Chain A
Amino acid sequence: MDMPPRSADDQSLERKTALEQLIASCAALLVDLDEENAQAKLSPILRLTGEFLHAERSHLFLRSVDDDLLQRTQAWHIPDLGDGSRHLYPAAYPWLFAQLSSGALVLSDAAEIPVDAVAERRLFEAQHIKAALAAAVTWGGRFQGFVGVETVGEARRWTDQDVRVLKVIAHLLSSALGGLRDRVALRHSKALQETTEALSHVGSWEWDLTSDRLKWSAEIYQILGETPEQFKPTPELMLSRVHPDDRTIFEATVQEAVAQARPMDVTVRLLRSDDTARSTRIQAHPIIHAGGRVERFIGTAQDVTELLRVQETMQRTHRALQTISACNTAIVRATSEQELRDRVCRILVERGGYRLAWVALEHGDGHTSNLPDAWFGDVDEAFFRELLSPKPGMPECVTAPTQAEPTVIRDVAASDLPGKQTWVQRGLLACISLPLKDNGRNLGVLVLHSDEAAVFDTEEIAHLKELAADLAYGLCALRSRRERDEARNYLEASEQSLRAVLERDTDGVLVTDRSARILFANPAAQAMLGRPFECLLGHTFAFPVVGGEKAEITLLRLDGSFVIAEMRAAETEWYKIPAVVIAMHDVTDERRAEEQSRIWATVLERSGELIFVTDAQRRIIAVNRAFETLTGYTSEEAVGRDPRFLASGLEDKTFYAELWHAVNTTGHWQGEIRDRRKSGEILPLWLAITAAGDPHGTIEHYIAIGSDVSERKAAEERIHFLAYHDALTGLPNRVLFKDRLRLSTAHAQRTGTRASVLFLDIDRFKNINDSLGHEAGDELLKIVAERLTHCVRREDTVSRQGGDEFLLLLCQIGTPNDVAQVALKILDELAKPCVIADTEVQVTASIGIAMFPEDGLEPEILVRNADTAMYYAKERGRNNFQFFVTDLNRRVSERLGLENALRRAIDLAEFELHYQPQVNVRTGRVEGVEALLRWRRDDRLVPPAEFVGVAEESGLIVPIGEWVVREACRQGTAWLHAGMPPTRIAINLSAVQFNQRDAFERLRDIISQACVKPSNVEVELTENTFMQEAENNLLTLNALKETGVGLAIDDFGTGYSNLNYLRRFPVDRIKVDQTFVRDLPSDPIDRAVIEAIIALAKSLNVDVVAEGVETEEERKLLEERDCEVFQGYIFSPPLPAHEMTEWWRQRL
């Protein structure tokens, strides 16, 4: 059987059932107690009582017949414990018996005995009694003894129930023992009839059948309440005093006894003179006549009213207790409410002796239905329909069981119940309605009907109330058990479905036991925690604390990432275990979005740019702080309005139309717009408007971001100023100057006026900088700038070009003289002393002047020419001004142009070599060929005189010279290969080239690469080169000579020759300059010079070549003076290689 869990209430009910059984058992033992069986019956009562109260000893002390000594009549004790006292003298223990006289002794601890109760203390100590409970046994209105229990060794706190139990036992014993004493007394009175009659309340009588006379003793008069004087006993009179209801049985008993001559024994109610009745037991023995006929009866009459009452009470109590006990057993064992109701009704009728019992439950509306929920008894449904149908006069207790106390109808017949005849006919003569209440809750009503009127005394009602309470408890327990079972079944079912739901829930759900160990984690929780179920099951999580509705927590995954979640928690059951369920809702994205929008809000709010957002109807819904600052309108003033309230009126309708067209078609517009501040000022904005829409392209918002252009413009101007002005002096810089110059010249051209550019350079500024420091230099430049500004008109421009150079632009000049006046003023102004770094400094400057339009039309040319003129002024001793001179300019520019052209000429192969033969007039042989450099530039052959100087100055002569050597050698080889006779190739070397540190090595390498015999190569050096560099180059010359290369002195006679050098140098040839040859016919000095040269050469054993021989006269004169080798037009001009070849071939 499925027992409900043992609750405290259940335990108490079991205890109660045990109690009922104890009392029922005791009552059963006592009901037919007599002298013979007293021992056998009292002994178990003490045992049961002792055991029930968990005592260690129990005993019954009763007063002896003749004195005050109390004798132990019966005792029980647990094994191994002694009996205790056998006798007690009440007088010796005044405190103890004072307690018992008042009903009971309740002593939980022997230590509680008052100090002055010395005898009692000693008594308890001697027997080691720690706690005692005793109740008085009384009858006949006297203290007759006590029944008690004891504990030894340990104190015991007796409960109220313990006390009540013992009192009930004492009451039962009192009734039973009192009755027994009465019966003992009765028997004694029979034996000692006469003497004891009065004491025993037994009267005697004698009925003489023969004479039909009746006589009786005084005691019978007592019973009848009559006196002998007023009442003469006769059989008829006697019969009339028998209660009418008892007369039939009385007469029948008498007739039967007479007829059969047998003893009679009948108990009837005798009516007293005061109309009360006494139950009287009438017994008689027949005195039989010799003929077998009854002559007379001799008998007794005993007033047994009290005795019967006690017996009836005993029986009823017994019945009630047994009924309660049976009901309680049913309550404990019942498995359903209906079963319990049916069983209880049945028990009440079958064992309780009631005629009808029924239970009607309240159905939530304060009323019962018109049929009981259970009944037992000889009635049908119709009876109840009649009984329970509402009718006036019917007590509410039956139909609406709301009363707290039982309602009793002791005598239905005598009541004014409607339809009582129906009740009476069915023997329902008395009725009790017992409310069924549990914890104040109204459950219904239990109604019992008795076939006896005038039952339901106080004691019975008390028992029935108890029974009703137990039944109510039982019904409730079953109901709550049913509900619990249903709830459990429901829970089990719902747990299954809950689990299924949780498996699919997107929120994480963890279930832990009460010590936070994880019992379950749904897949979402596993994902949020980044751990599989195996890593969670059994791990300790934590006690969740949720202050309000939810708490925010962070979940740390194994991989180091985290999830922010809202946690909710609740206590619950999980598969019957107390558990905590923790639900976690992932809010990571929300939190991040919130964080982001918070950051954006901050950014927008703090942005220096004006920002506002409108809805699709262009009503402002938000503005930032910069908006408030820039427009002067607060957020409250702006929100809700169309941004048009900011319009300045300076933009026309077209402007706005185009703006909105752009926004609505392209989603964007930006541009400059002029709005108006609240203060009325114009607010120029660079505004960008963007349409923000949903994914379908519907515009939801317009976002406008604007920056204050007025500030930007100011910033731009600052940047512009810095870009066009000199940071140190604040004067216009080179860029701005050129711009002004361009404007100025254009203006001058239109108006036909002049302008002038002055280039000014501070003299020896470097010295000032070096001696006084850069700061002093800067200071000086500032002073100069200031003075210059003072010297010119407002429309003129003074600018600094950098360093110590200034450029001035003078507009609308009349004559160059006006400019000269300004220049002089400047020089004077600058010449004034100035103190820099505690030092007095004298400043002078050189100024170059270029005039427009005379010195150039382009600004760049004007500046350059002024610069050139300034250098001229420097050359002229500084501290003066010079106007630009055109020639100067041309020369310089040609030289520069030539240098650039030369530089390119090598790469462009513009150089070529022409050859002029040296012919021996005596043999007619070509003794040598001089290679002469020519530059073919723009189809014109540039003679060396025009470019060699520039080439030497620029150093270009080195690569050009090398090219010459290489080309000449190549040509020499080519001629040999072409079958020409071996001859000398003469090559001119420049001093610059010759002075190169590695000149010799380079020459040697070139010659050897050309595969020319060095002896077929001759190097020509001018006399000046020879003499100036001879000392330094002696080693080079000697080395060259050693390789076999010939050496010739060119232009001999034009310079100053040191004859000593000439002698030391390994010269092979000297070439007489053509100027001597040209003047030979006319100038006798030249003739002498030539003669001297030839003589010198002969003395040095050096060959002579005459250059520039053009006429036969010259030739003749030279021949006459032993000069044999000639070079000149008389034989051939210098010719390109192929023509030279042609000429040579014809000579062969």
Chain B
Amino acid sequence: MSDVAAKSYQLLLFVADHENYARQSITALSEVLDRLIPGQYRIELVDVLREPERAEAENVFATPMLVRSRPSPTVRILGDLSDQEKIVALLGLDKATDP
């Protein structure tokens, strides 16, 4: 837990079972995050059809959705997660990289 708590970026990727294309985006996303905020993030994949209670808990009713639960405020991104430039901007990582 201490490891988890240490990560300043907590990301949850909610996908539905059939959304293989979204599932794949986690790899591309991880690569970008490794470059921008190496070691500072934790990303988890949640299949909403298998774990509907987690989707309910995060009030997620559409997928694929990327939820940044930390740092506050919560950021929720829905749709084409392969658009990395936009994702990075929405996650506020373009500013994070500025020295």
Contact between chains at B90 and A556 (CB < 8 Å): no
Cβ of A545 under 8 Å from chain B: yes
Number of interface residues, chain A, beta carbon within 8 A: 24
Cβ of B62 under 8 Å from chain A: yes
> In chain A between 532 and 561, which residues have their CB closer than 8 angstroms to a CB of chain B?
539-548, 551, 553-557, 560
Taking residues whose C-beta sits less than 8 angstroms from the other chain, chain B's interface range is 20 to 34
Cβ of B87 under 8 Å from chain A: yes
Query: How many angstroms from the CA of A531 to the CA of B59 in the assembled complex?
Result: 12
B contact residues around A529 at 8 Å (CB) = 61-62
A contact residues around B60 at 8 Å (CB) = 556
Contact between chains at B52 and A545 (CB < 8 Å): no
Name which residue of chain A comes closest to B65, CB basis: A542
Contact between chains at A560 and B52 (CB < 8 Å): yes
Known: A556-B48, A562-B16. A541 touches B62 (CB 8 A): yes
User: Per-residue CB proximity of B69-95 to A under 8 Å, as 1/0?
Assistant: 000001111111111001100100000
Cβ of A567 under 8 Å from chain B: yes
Contact between chains at A553 and B62 (CB < 8 Å): yes
Name which residue of chain B comes closest to A569, CB basis: B79
Cβ of A516 under 8 Å from chain B: yes
Contact between chains at A544 and B79 (CB < 8 Å): yes
> In chain A between 541 and 592, which residues have their CB closer than 8 angstroms to a CB of chain B?
541-548, 551, 553-557, 560, 562, 564, 567, 569
B78's contact among A539, A553, A560, A562, by CB below 8 Å, is which? A553
B76's contact among A540, A548, A556, A557, by CB below 8 Å, is which? A540
> In chain B between 13 and 27, which residues have their CB closer than 8 angstroms to a CB of chain A?
16, 18-19
Query: How many angstroms from the CA of A540 to the CA of B55 in the assembled complex?
Result: 13
Contact between chains at B76 and A543 (CB < 8 Å): yes
B79's contact among A556, A557, A562, A567, by CB below 8 Å, is which? A567
Query: How many angstroms from the CA of A440 to the CA of B5 in the assembled complex?
Result: 58
A544's contact among B19, B63, B75, B78, by CB below 8 Å, is which? B78
Cβ of B28 under 8 Å from chain A: no
B contact residues around A548 at 8 Å (CB) = 80
Query: How many angstroms from the CA of A546 to the CA of B78 in the assembled complex?
Result: 9
Count of chain A to chain B residue pairs whose CB atoms are closer than 8 Å in the complex: 73
A contact residues around B82 at 8 Å (CB) = 547
Cβ of B4 under 8 Å from chain A: no
B contact residues around A546 at 8 Å (CB) = 79-80
Contact between chains at B81 and A554 (CB < 8 Å): no
Contact between chains at A554 and B63 (CB < 8 Å): yes
Query: How many angstroms from the CA of A545 to the CA of B79 in the assembled complex?
Result: 5
Query: How many angstroms from the CA of A551 to the CA of B62 in the assembled complex?
Result: 12
> In chain A between 968 and 995, which residues have their CB closer than 8 angstroms to a CB of chain B?
none
Contact between chains at B48 and A541 (CB < 8 Å): no
Contact between chains at A553 and B63 (CB < 8 Å): yes
Contact between chains at A547 and B78 (CB < 8 Å): no
Query: How many angstroms from the CA of A546 to the CA of B64 in the assembled complex?
Result: 12
Cβ of B45 under 8 Å from chain A: no
Query: How many angstroms from the CA of A516 to the CA of B76 in the assembled complex?
Result: 8
Min CB–CB distance B74 → chain A (angstroms): 7
A contact residues around B55 at 8 Å (CB) = 556
Contact between chains at B78 and A540 (CB < 8 Å): no
B62's contact among A542, A545, A547, A569, by CB below 8 Å, is which? A542
Cβ of B49 under 8 Å from chain A: yes
A contact residues around B81 at 8 Å (CB) = 545
B63's contact among A531, A556, A560, A569, by CB below 8 Å, is which? A556
A545's contact among B16, B19, B48, B87, by CB below 8 Å, is which? B87
Min CB–CB distance B58 → chain A (angstroms): 10
A–B pairs, 22, beta carbons within 8 Å: A529-B62, A531-B61, A540-B59, A541-B62, A542-B78, A543-B76, A545-B77, A545-B86, A545-B87, A545-B90, A547-B80, A551-B79, A553-B78, A554-B18, A554-B19, A554-B48, A556-B16, A556-B48, A556-B55, A562-B16, A567-B79, A569-B79
8 smallest beta-carbon distances between A and B, as pairs: A547-B80, A542-B78, A551-B79, A542-B76, A551-B80, A554-B16, A545-B79, A547-B83
